[in-house]
C-alpha cells in the first residue's frame, strides 16, 4: 500500500452504475474504496448495506473495502459486513454499548478495526483501545451527508490524534473524512492524516484520474 492512501467515498458515485464507478475510480489510481453505511437512526440518511458490499466483491472488486458504519446499534452489522467481504470496519463509539467487544468482533472476523470520532467527540476513548485498533477516523464534517465543507478545527484534532498514535507505538492509520479535496489535502496531511476519504471531490468531477493525480502531487509536497 502507498504511504498515503486515497479512499474515494462511493456515497457520491452514481449508484445506478456502482460496479463500473468502483472499477473506474480504482483504475484512476484510488487505493481503497470507502463505503458509507447510514441507517436513518444514528444519522439522518439512509444508504447501502452488506448486500451491496457482497455484490461489489462478486463483481470482481479485490481492493480493500473500508466500511464506515453510521448505524446504531452496530454489532449486528459488524457480523454482516465481515460476511460480505469488508476489509476494514470502523464505527462510532456512540453507536456501541460495548466498544471493546465490538472492536474484538471485527478483528475476530479477520478485518481491520477502527473507531470514528465526530467533530465534537473527544478522543478520550482511544487510550483504552490502542492495542485493538488499526485505524482512527476523524470526521471533518458531521456525519450523514456528502458534499459538506471541511471543519477547520479538525486540523488541531488531527495533530492531537497523530501524537497519541505515535506515542502508542502501534501501527494505526489516521484517516480523515468529509470535505477533503485537492485544495486542502496537503494541509490535512501536514496535520498528521495518512488516509484521505474524498467523495464529492472525486465523483463530482468527470476525470477521476486528474483529481487523484492532483491529490498525489499535493501529497508528494508533504513528505
Ligand atoms: O462519512 C461520510 C459522511 O458522513 C462521507 O464519507 C463523507 O462525507 C465523504 O463525502 P465528501 O468527501 O463529499 O465530504
Ligand atoms: Fe465516511
**CATH number reported for the structural domain that contains residue 119 in this entry:** 3.20.20.70
- Residue 73 sits at φ, ψ, to 5 deg, of -75, 160
pLDDT value for 72: 98
Strand partners, 35: 67
CA–centroid distance, 181 to ligand 2, in Å, is 14
143 C-alpha to ligand 2 centroid (Å): 7
Q: What is the model's pLDDT at position 104?
A: 98
Identify the pLDDT of residue 31: 98
Query: DSSP labels for 59-124?
Result: HT--S-EEEEEE-SS-HHHHHHHHHHT-SEEEE-GGG-S-HHHHHHHHHHTT-EEEEEE-TT--GG
**In Å, how far are 29, 63, 117, 209, 214 from 24, measured between CA atoms?**
9, 12, 30, 9, 17
The pairing of beta strand 5-8 with beta strand 88-91: unpaired
Q: How many residues does the chain have?
A: 223
Residue 76, domain extent: 5-220
Structure confidence at residue 78 (pLDDT): 98
Q: Which atom of ligand 1 is nearest to the CA of 181?
A: 12
**DSSP codes, 11-58:** GGS-GGGHHHHHHHHHHTT--SEEEEEEBSSSSS-B---HHHHHHHHH
Looking at residue 1, its pLDDT comes to 43
CB of 111 closer than 8 Å to CB of 141: no
Q: How many domains does the chain have?
A: 1
> Regarding beta strands 5-8 and 65-70, do their DSSP bridges make them parallel or antiparallel, or are they unpaired?
unpaired
Residues with CB under 5 A from ligand 2 (ion): 36, 68, 177
- What's the 71 CA to ligand 1 centre distance in angstroms? 15
Secondary structure of residue 7 in the 3-state scheme: strand
Q: What is the dihedral of CA 81, 108, 73, 193, to 10 degrees?
A: -80
Does 201 sit in the ligand 1 pocket, CB within 6 Å?
Answer: yes
Tell me if 49 sits within 8 A of 17, measured CB to CB: no
From first to last of the 223 residues of the chain, give the pLDDT tens digit.
Answer: 459 999 999 999 999 999 999 999 999 999 999 999 999 999 999 999 999 999 999 999 999 999 999 999 999 999 999 999 999 999 999 999 999 999 999 999 999 999 999 999 999 999 999 999 999 999 999 999 999 999 999 999 999 999 999 999 999 999 999 999 999 999 999 999 999 999 999 999 999 999 999 999 999 999 7
Pocket flag, ligand 1, residue 8 (CB < 6 Å):
no
Which sign does the torsion angle of CA 161, 162, 168, 171 carry? positive
ipTM over 0.85: yes
Query: Mutation test of ligand 1: which of 65, 148, 198, 208 has the most ligand atoms closer than 8 Å to its C-beta?
Result: 148
Amino acid at each position: 500500500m502507498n504511504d498515503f492512501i486515497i479512499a474515494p467515498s462511493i456515497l457520491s458515485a452514481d449508484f445506478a452504475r456502482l460496479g463500473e464507478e468502483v472499477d473506474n475510480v480504482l483504475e484512476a489510481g484510488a487505493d481503497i474504496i470507502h463505503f458509507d453505511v447510514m441507517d436513518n437512526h444514528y444519522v439522518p440518511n439512509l444508504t447501502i448495506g452488506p448486500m451491496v458490499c457482497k455484490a461489489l466483491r462478486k463483481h470482481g472488486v479485490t481492493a480493500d473495502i473500508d466500511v464506515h458504519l453510521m448505524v446504531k446499534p452496530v454489532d449486528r452489522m459488524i457480523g454482516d459486513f465481515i460476511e460480505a467481504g469488508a476489509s476494514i470496519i470502523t464505527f462510532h463509539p456512540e453507536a456501541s454499548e460495548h466498544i471493546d467487544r465490538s472492536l474484538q468482533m471485527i478483528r475476530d472476523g479477520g478485518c481491520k478495526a477502527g473507531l470514528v470520532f465526530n467533530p465534537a467527540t473527544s478522543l478520550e476513548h482511544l487510550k483504552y483501545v490502542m492495542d485493538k485498533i488499526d485505524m482512527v477516523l476523524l470526521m471533518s464534517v458531521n456525519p450523514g451527508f456528502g458534499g459538506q465543507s471541511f471543519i477547520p478545527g479538525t486540523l488541531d484534532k488531527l495533530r492531537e490524534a497523530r501524537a497519541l498514535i505515535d506515542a502508542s507505538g502501534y501501527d494505526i492509520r489516521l484517516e480523515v473524512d468529509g470535505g477533503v479535496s485537492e485544495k486542502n489535502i496537503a494541509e490535512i496531511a501536514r496535520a498528521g492524516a495518512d488516509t484521505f476519504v474524498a467523495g464529492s471531490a472525486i465523483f463530482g468531477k468527470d476525470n477521476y484520474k486528474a483529481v487523484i493525480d492532483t491529490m498525489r502531487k499535493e501529497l508528494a509536497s508533504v513528505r
